[in-house]
Amino acid sequence: MTLEQRKKAFEFIDLHKDEMLCLLKELVTTESDTRNKNSVDNLAQKLKEILCSIGMNTRIVEYKNSGNSIVAESASNKCKKGVILSGHMDTVFKKGTLENMPFKIENDKIYGPGVLDMKGGIIIALYVIKALNSIEYNERPIKVIISGDEETGHCNSKCNELFINESKGFGAAFNFETGFLDNGVIVGRKGVAEFSLEIEGISAHAGNSPEKGRSAIQEMAYKIIDIQNLNNLKNGTTFNVGTITGGTVPNAIPDYAKIEIDVRYTKLSEKSSIENTLQSIASKTYIEGTKSKLKVKSYMPPMETTDDVMKLFEFAKKTSAEIGLGDIYSKTTGGGSDASYIVTAGVPALCAMGVKGEWNHTPREYGIVESLFERAKLIIACILNLDEYLK
């Protein structure tokens, strides 16, 4: 890398700020509710066209029961290990949210459904590529992976496998999830496991023949206590019974109950013991005549803080200081992201490299305008100087 190359790439970003914001508006106003396959697929097609227009060999990976995903690759030098730019295009917001939560820019903040999580991050990735194209960069291949069902944990697709298979052999990755206002960069995330537990009992009239009933809710109550007692804050493994349904009317012994369980864990090696422990609880019977069934809904592995991840972070930290964007610091969090699959594939990744902001997943979601441009420059500088990291 030469300083002149970096300067010209930065100038490209400076000259296209308005264009970046206009395209961000277009993406945000193209709603992509993770539960609405058609809306996600519509955005996937739009992004494919954009990526093709900037010279990326792009394909849509189709899934029957979830939003499609995108893989795009540059035709750069394949003799050197490449760089992955990753994220997701689906949002948690239902179609029609724009009516009460329109895209707008006020007081240097951008508002709108998914502007922070994480369509702003997609814009950063696109303009990193455009800026590198403007200086004819071809030192390393660049691959873009954008999932269409991250918000549901890929429970209805094999996108988790897509991330692992497409990432293998690459040198570094940057995932553009929500950036933090305090300049924190994620070097580790907990894994996320989602389960459901259903119990069948025997219904009966609560007044006339209660002795004939077997309460599914009562059985579930015992099991909920067992599950909550599994929490281990010391090692960071947490169990949360987040929803419960069951019964029909107050005067009937309930013959059905269901809970949904969220588990967060720090080590990939914990996965089997978590499932085995929950299965043991499901297999135990407190109320004779009830039956329990545990179902695994989804797994997202932890993004483990490996030595290579920390090496990449130190490189990015040095780069950020060199280009005048201040110190970044490393942090871990309990929320999952697709960076976990990339690290599982053996590729060091940094996460939360997207637009900085707050309140994602809420009507107050917003991003900081200037961070859109700052993060693009940071990634550009990292890619241009990647020989220093991968030497």
Positions annotated as catalytic residues are: 90, 150
Distance CA 122, CA 50 (A): 11
Residue 172 belongs to what H/E stretch? strand 172-175
Q: Minimal CA–CA distance to 189: which of 306, 327, 357?
A: 306
CA angle 160–240–184, rounded 5-degree value: 60
Amino acid letter for position 126: L
Residues sharing a CB contact under 8 Å with residue 133, sequence separation 6 or more, in sequence order: 54, 55
Beta bridge partners of 306: none
Residues sharing a CB contact under 8 Å with residue 186, sequence separation 6 or more, in sequence order: 177, 303, 330, 331, 332, 333, 337, 339, 350, 351, 352
**DSSP string over 50-66:** HHHHTT-EEEEE--SSS
Beta bridge partners of 256: 200
Count helices and strands in the chain by DSSP H and E runs: 11, 18
Q: Mapping DSSP to helix (H, G, I), strand (E, B) and coil, where does residue 296 land?
A: strand
Distance CA 182, CA 12 (A): 26
Distance CA 228, CA 181 (A): 33
What are the backbone dihedrals phi and psi of residue 306, each rounded to the nearest 5 degrees, phi first? Answer: -80, 170
Q: How many residues does the chain have?
A: 391
Distance CA 255, CA 287 (A): 12
Peptide bond into 310 cis (omega under 30): no
